[in-house]
């Protein structure tokens, strides 16, 4: 066969072969399905809490929490969309504004997005935060808007910038002569509540709602509804869906993980030229997803924790904290970095333990007190592969 016809052959195959996917987009995590099974309670309750807005009254602030992938963002957007549609059909002055505080990044950016959405122009930078919030509140009053402002992943805002902005917002209604501003805060990390001033907390959580994890059985139903839209007929069967649901439920019932698994399994099957997505593809997919997650975790560590992780690899499988500390100090010195104190390092090691990157077990040394044994939980090969991509760490892992 000539080269030309070889290429043509490849392209022809692609063109004539039926894809396994009908619509891959419905498996993306931003996609909001028309039905959200097992969340009727939450949908109803949130709708009830927000409904005073339709009558021109302020609604309570609301705090939603639950583990990752339990439908908090999807349910909130779903209810807000319905509320907005009703308000539009009645020509009401109601504004629903959504902001993910992790993506927005700074307090200023959050305010910028809010004012932008309301139609109030503020400069991209330069004003004091107080000035911006003042302008927004005046604008809400002058337009008589009923505003519901959703702050998703609100724990990022609080951890990075404290609760000043929330304080301003939760006090806003006392200052608004007309119109109203209510907040929906969403988080998968409840510890952020400890960082809030008690007044802010009690105001933000006028209403609270928990999203429980899904069971494997529930995930199975969520997946099969989505699979009908995502895959062509006969390209996936119940056995594979069951396995994806079970694998995703084995940590906690996380719908995002289940959907990711289904999508990656589908992509693997498609690349392989398989006629349908099978169990084996789901098994490869879970390994790939876990590896990707591990790589993300490794990359997002601060420098000292990266060095500490490297120092946790000794000649034997496990080392005492003291040995890890000595190796860490050596690494720092060899690279002209000021080492942290051993106390600080102990804290960082506990964090690595929580992230599942090392295991730290306390052992008693009799009357000499207690110490910890540290063993890495990932292979040195993986760590090397990831840190070789980092220009600074490259020569350290290779030396
Ligand atoms: N009950 C459900 N039915 C159908 N799909 C769902 C359901 N719950 C969640 N999903 C889907 O699962 C994915 C994750 O849900 P969502 O983004 O709402 O999770 P979350 O609770 O906000 O998680 P995180 O805390 O990580 O932000 C989305 O693609 C969403 O559409
Ligand atoms: Mg979310």
User: Which CATH number characterizes residue 275's domain?
Assistant: 1.10.8.60
Q: How far is CA 99 from CA 108, 154, 212, in A?
A: 12, 9, 23
Task: Yes or no: say if 266 and 236 are a contact pair by the CB < 8 Å rule.
Answer: yes
Give the CB-side neighbour count of residue 267, counting CA atoms within 13 A.
15
Choice from 67, 74, 211 to test ligand 1 binding pocket (greatest atom count within 8 A of CB): 74
User: Quick one: 193 and 220 in the same domain?
Assistant: no
Structural domain ending residue among the three candidates 248, 277, 295: 295
Residue 203 falls within a domain, yes or no? yes
Q: Assess whether 221 and 205 both reside in one domain.
A: no
Identify the burial level of 44 via C-beta atoms within 10 angstroms of its C-beta, where 0-12 means exposed, 13-18 middle and 19 or more buried: exposed
Higher pLDDT, 317 or 258: 258
Whether 305 and 386 map to the same domain: the answer is: yes
Cα 187 from chain centre: 9
The CATH number covering residue 179 comes to 3.40.50.300
Does residue 166 sit in the same domain as residue 182?
yes
The answer on 277 and 154 residing in a single domain is no
Whether residue 193 is predicted with pLDDT greater than 80 in this model: the reply is yes
Alpha helices in the chain (DSSP H): 3-16, 40-50, 72-89, 101-104, 107-118, 129-143, 154-161, 164-175, 198-204, 216-230, 238-249, 255-272, 279-299, 303-311, 321-334, 342-354, 380-387, 391-398
List 151's β-bridge partners, or say none: 99, 185
Tell me the C-alpha distance between 195 and 106, whole Å.
Answer: 17
Which residue in 261, 211, 257, 267 sits closest to 241, CA to CA?
261
Same domain as 169, residue 54: yes
Name which of 253, 80, 52, 51 is nearest 152 in CA terms. Answer: 80
| Same domain as 365, residue 239 | no
In this structure, the answer to whether residues 145 and 269 fall within a common structural domain is no
The tokens describing 317, both together, are 């499988």
**Is the same domain home to 122 and 266?**
no
Per-residue pLDDT band for 329 (boundaries 50, 70, 90) equals: very high
Which residue has the CA at smallest separation from atom 24 of ligand 1?
68
- pLDDT-derived band of residue 29, with 50, 70 and 90 as boundaries? confident
State the average pLDDT over residues 2-15.
Answer: 80
Q: Is the minimum distance from the CB of 72 to ligand 1 under 6 angstroms? A: yes
Q: Where in the sequence is the domain holding 392, given as residue range(s)? A: 301-398
Mean pLDDT computed over 198-211 = 94
Tell me which residue has tokens 């969403």: 186
Q: What angle do CA 61, 66, 68 make, to 5 degrees?
A: 125
91 with 205, same domain? yes
DSSP 328-347: HHHHHHHTT-PPPPHHHHHH
User: Residue 65 and residue 209: Cα distance in Å, rounded?
Assistant: 6
Q: 288 CB contacts (<8 Å, ≥6 apart)?
A: 264, 268
What is d(CA 269, CA 214) in angstroms, rounded to the nearest whole number?
26
Residue 375: give its domain's CATH number: 1.10.10.10
330/334 Cα distance (integer angstroms):
6
User: What confidence tens digit (pLDDT) does each residue in 122-181 have?
Assistant: 988 888 988 999 999 999 999 999 999 999 999 999 999 999 999 989 888 788 889 999
Does residue 338 lie in a domain region? yes
Ligand 1 pocket check: which of 186, 256, 258 to mutate, most ligand atoms within 8 Å of Cβ?
Answer: 256
Give distance in angstroms: CA of 212 to centre of ligand 2: 14
Q: Which atom of ligand 1 is nearest to the CA of 153?
A: 27
Give pLDDT, residue 399.
75
pLDDT of residue 369: 67
pLDDT at 11: 81
* Model pLDDT, residue 172: 84
Answer yes or no: do 106 and 191 share one domain. yes
Q: Among the atoms of ligand 1, which is closest to the Cα of residue 32?
A: 31
Is the pLDDT confidence value at 368 over 90? Answer: no
Distance 112 CA to ligand 1 centre (A): 27
Q: Is residue 87 part of a domain?
A: yes
One domain, residues 44 and 184: yes
Average pLDDT over residues 82-91: 94
Predicted local confidence at residue 1, as pLDDT: 63
Higher pLDDT, residue 345 or 315: 345
In a domain, 23, yes or no: no
**321 assigned to some structural domain:** yes
Mean of all residue pLDDT scores within the chain: 91
Smallest CA separation from ligand 1 atom 31, residue: 32
Measured in Å, residue 338 CA sits from the centre of ligand 1 at 43
Does any ligand 1 atom lie closer than 6 A to the CB of residue 29?
yes
Domain boundary among 267, 295, 323: 295
190 found inside a domain? yes
Tokens of 61: 């602030």
Task: Calculate mean pLDDT across residues 81-93.
Answer: 94
Q: How far apart are CA 211 and CA 68, in angstroms?
A: 9
State the distance from the centre of ligand 1 to the C-alpha of 70, rounded, in angstroms: 5
> What's the pLDDT at 367?
65
- Prediction pTM value: 0.84
Neighbours of ion ligand 2 (CB under 5 A): 73
Report whether residue 167 contacts ligand 1, using a CB cutoff of 6 Å.
Answer: no
Residue 274, SS3? coil
Residue 31 Cα to ligand 2 middle (Å): 12
The total domain count for the chain is 3
Predicted confidence at residue 366, as pLDDT, reads 67
Least confident range of 71-85, 240-254, 367-381: 367-381
Last residue of a domain, one of 177, 211, 245: 211
Q: Is residue 136 part of a domain?
A: yes
Look at residue 117 and tell me if it is in a domain: yes
């Amino acid at each position: 066969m000539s080269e030309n016809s070889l290429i043509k052959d490849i392209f022809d195959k692609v063109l004539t072969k039926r894809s396994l996917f009908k619509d891959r987009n419905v498996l993306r995590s931003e996609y909001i399905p028309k039905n959200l099974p097992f969340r009727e309670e939450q949908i109803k309750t949130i709708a009830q809490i927000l409904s005073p807005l339709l009558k021109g009254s302020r609604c309570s602030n609301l705090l939603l929490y639950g583990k990752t992938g339990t439908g908090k963002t999807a349910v909130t957007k779903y209810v807000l969309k319905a509320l907005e549609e009703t308000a539009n059909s009645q020509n009401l002055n109601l504004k629903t504004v959504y902001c993910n505080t992790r993506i927005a990044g700074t307090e200023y950016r959050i305010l910028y997005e809010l004012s932008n959405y309301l139609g109030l122009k503020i400069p991209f930078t330069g004003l004091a935060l107080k000035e911006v919030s003042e302008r927004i509140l005046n604008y809400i009053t002058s337009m008589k808007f009923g505003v519901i402002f959703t702050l998703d992943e609100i724990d990022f805002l609080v951890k990075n910038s404290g609760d000043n902005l929330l304080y301003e917002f939760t006090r806003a209604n006392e200052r608004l002569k007309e119109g109203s501003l209510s907040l929906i805060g969403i988080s998968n990390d409840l510890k952020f509540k400890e960082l809030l001033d008690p007044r802010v907390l009690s105001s933000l959580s006028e209403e609270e709602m928990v999203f429980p994890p899904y069971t494997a059985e529930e995930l199975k139903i969520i997946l099969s509804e989505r699979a009908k839209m995502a895959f062509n007929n006969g390209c996936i069967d119940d056995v594979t869906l069951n396995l994806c649901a079970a694998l995703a439920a084995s940590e906690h019932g996380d719908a995002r993980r289940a959907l990711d698994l289904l999508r990656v399994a589908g992509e693997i099957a498609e690349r392989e030229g398989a006629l349908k997505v099978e169990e084996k593809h789901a098994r490869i997919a879970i390994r790939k997803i876990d590896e990707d997650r591990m790589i993300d975790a490794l990359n997002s560590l601060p420098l000292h924790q990266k060095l500490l992780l490297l120092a946790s690899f000794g000649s034997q499988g496990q080392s005492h904290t003291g040995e890890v500390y000595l190796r860490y100090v050596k690494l720092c010195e060899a690279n002209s970095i000021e080492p942290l104190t051993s106390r600080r390092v102990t804290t960082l090691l506990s964090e690595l333990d929580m992230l599942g990157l090392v295991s730290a077990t306390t052992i008693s040394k009799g009357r000499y007190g207690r110490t910890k044994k540290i063993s890495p939980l990932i292979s040195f090969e993986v760590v090397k592969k990831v840190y070789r991509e980092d220009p600074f760490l490259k020569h350290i892992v290779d030396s």
